Amino acid sequence: MPAPAHGPLPPQHKRVAAARRLRKRAFRAGDRAFLVEGPQAVREALAPDGPAAVHEVFVVPEAAGRHPELVAAAEAAGVPVTRLTATALAGLTETVTPQGVVAVCGLLDVPLAGVVEARPRLVAVLAQVRDPGNAGTVIRAADAAGADAVVLAGASVDPYNGKCVRASAGSLFHLPIVTGVPVADAVAGLRAAGLQVLAADGAGERDLDDLQDGRALAGPTAWLFGNEAWGLPPEVRALADAVVRVPIHGRAESLNLATAAAVCLYASARAHRPC
């Protein structure tokens, strides 16, 4: 039966079906598009100064009523707005309680060469980071610290994974993202651009507090963060100019990846500020 001229589109509608495919990485790569869920992230995607190419916005009537500015922004930008039933929209979401708004956006990643040419001062490099929640949180922390880019190197998680997109809380749209670069190539490119490369590791021989006190963080820096379970392998640690530990002043056994990354990035951000 064809879709009615007015009202919500049925879930089998071809555009909904095409968007639903984007929950899988292979289709995201093939279509060069991904899903953005929730009003905050969609708001960032629609920002006029943002890099995102928004292809379509799907919204349930209740959410359209709560967030009329999102509908207005999409329509002003010439982005189609498709109203769906809650059941139809649920097929596009991964959360238990969907917020009623989903956008289809073009992929955002840029070549490493573009980041290098911009002469960055602070970059986060994720080496074989597999957990999408951790990766998204590091992207958010890097954005908050004023980093110039995030590089997901080696076999790191797809930044367009739904959990990663949600964990970034819109920061995915605020800074350049590089993907698919071998760790060694990322390090070599950033070092050639004048950045020192520091590897964060709980067993590092240098102490973050000492580096701060000695102004060793004042120069352009790329921080290298490793896998959640096994950290940085010896061959990756060997690529760094120094391996740095975040000091544990209390009784905690260690810090998780996202927390350690936030501490290191903010330490550099503070060192980069004029005295």
* Tens place of pLDDT per residue across the chain (275 aa): 444 445 554 544 788 999 999 999 999 999 999 999 999 999 999 998 777 789 999 999 999 999 999 999 999 999 999 999 999 999 999 888 889 999 999 999 999 999 999 999 999 999 999 999 999 999 999 999 999 999 999 999 999 999 999 999 999 999 999 999 999 999 999 999 999 999 999 889 999 999 999 889 999 999 999 988 888 999 999 999 999 999 999 999 889 999 999 999 999 999 998 76
Asked if the structure places residue 20 within a domain, the reply is yes
- Identify whether 73 is part of a domain: yes
Tokens of 161: 């994974």
- Write out the DSSP string of 65-90: HH-HHHHHHHHHTT--EEEB-HHHHH
Q: Do 244 and 122 fall into the same domain?
A: yes
118 and 171 both lie in a single domain: yes
The reply to whether 81 and 126 lie within a common domain is no
Q: Is residue 161 part of a domain?
A: yes
Q: How many structural domains compose the chain?
A: 2
In a domain, 206, yes or no: yes
**Per DSSP, what are the bridge partners of residue 36?**
103
Same domain, 180 and 254: yes
Q: With respect to residue 7, please indicate whether it lies within any of the assigned structural domains.
A: no
Residues 49 and 73 both lie in one domain: yes
The sign of the torsion formed by the CA atoms of 260, 145, 271, 109 equals: positive
> For 173, which DSSP code?
G
Q: What is the CATH number of the domain that holds 257?
A: 3.40.1280.10
The answer on 77 and 143 residing in a single domain is no
Q: How many CA atoms lie within 13 A of 196 on its CB side?
A: 15
Are 179 and 259 in the same domain?
yes
215 and 232 in a single domain? The answer is: yes
Q: Residue 236 and residue 225: Cα distance in Å, rounded?
A: 10
Shared domain for 36 and 60, answered yes or no, is yes
Q: Which domain holds residue 21?
A: 14-106
- Regarding whether 210 and 102 lie in a shared domain, the answer is no
Conformation bin of residue 104: beta by default, left when phi > 0, alpha when psi is -120 to 50: beta
* pLDDT the model gives residue 203: 86
Is the domain of 96 the same as that of 141? no
Question: Do the beta carbons of residue 107 and residue 32 sit within 8 Å?
Answer: yes
| Position 265 in a domain | yes
Q: Is residue 1 part of a domain?
A: no
The C-alpha atoms of residue 62 and residue 106 are separated, in whole angstroms, by: 26
Q: Residue 4 domain-assigned?
A: no
Distance between CA atoms of residues 19 and 27, nearest Å: 10
Whole-number pLDDT of residue 10: 52
The CA distance from 18 to 13, in Å, is 9
Distance, CA of 108 to CA of 178 (rounded, Å): 9
CATH code for position 26:
3.30.1330.30
Give CA–CA dist 6/160, Å, rounded: 32
pTM of the full predicted structure?
0.91
Asked whether residue 84 falls in the same domain as residue 166, the answer is no
Q: Which residue has 């080496």 as its token pair?
A: 127
Query: Which of 43, 76, 106 is at the close of a domain?
Result: 106
pLDDT at 3: 47
Q: Which residue, 87, 106, 125, sits at the end of a domain? A: 106
Nearest to 55 by CA among 63, 46, 47: 46
